[in-house]
Amino acid sequence: MAKTPEPPNGYALDAKGVWAGYNGHAALEGVSFRIEPGCLAGLVGPNGSGKSTLLRVILGLHKPWRGEVHVFGDRSPPQTRLGYMPQSEVVDWSFPVTASDVVLMGRYGRLGLLRRPRQHDRDVAMQALERVRMADRARRRIGELSGGEQRRVLVARALAQEADVLLLDEPFAGLDATSQHDILELFAGLARDGKTLFVATHDLSCVAACFDHAVFLNRKVVAFGRLADVLNEEVLTATFERHLLLLNVEGKIYAGHQ
């Protein structure tokens, strides 16, 4: 798969002084960072740090009080450039639809009003299911799938949008170690194919395992950049507001309390 062409300013995401919140209470305070194209980047912070609000600002679903986010140099990018995976907790898994139905919903942004999916759209949806190794469960009801399988379907839905940037909100939450590993391998493969992934998570072990960039957020940006430069005890302590130690065990990074 061809790499996504680099934007004029060299960044897939470029946030500039973003302030946003709800009912007069700030959730984001002067947030600025840059994400390079074709990388797997973590948006790391504790619960309530503003991660979901930031994703909604990037998607254009929440208007910031001040500041802006450019996507490939564009202040108002077409929604087709952005794919989104919501937190699984906001999805009604009892709704009577199949896995393929859910993934096909990712095509609606390209169909326009009153247009029905064509065979091409169904082919794209099936290819997305194949990419996440869920094609054999395409006709299964989503409520019958395991937690890991449901996350794969949501990733496939984002892929079906054929977007250049994928925004994923807490994709590892509640998954066992095997499912987390599978999702991580999938994300790393997508980044190698030229997709830019921006993954909101508070799971440091997943980020340390194979992410190459990160933004550490607690309403304000504590640090951002290549993981090798920003993953340290000082940044973690400021982000999570408690002292954390980094432990390197057989090449794997773990965070623990002192």
CATH classification code of 1-72+165-173+195-258: 3.40.50.300
Cα separation of the two ends of the chain: 45
Residues paired with residue 121 on neighbouring β-strands, in sequence order: none
Listed range (8-12, 167-171, 188-192) with the worst mean pLDDT: 8-12
Q: What is the mean pLDDT of the chain?
A: 85
User: What does pTM read for this prediction?
Assistant: 0.85
Read off the pLDDT of residues 130-178 as tens digits, 9 standing for 90 and up: 988 899 999 999 999 988 888 889 889 988 988 899 999 988 887 788 8
Q: H or E segment at 221?
A: strand 220-226
When comparing pLDDT for 112 and 196, which is higher? Answer: 196
Report DSSP state, residue 148. H
pLDDT band at 249 (very low <50, low <70, confident <90, very high): very low
Residues in the chain: 258
φ, ψ for residue 96 (rounded to 5)?
Answer: -80, 70
Residue ranges of domains in the chain: 1-72+165-173+195-258
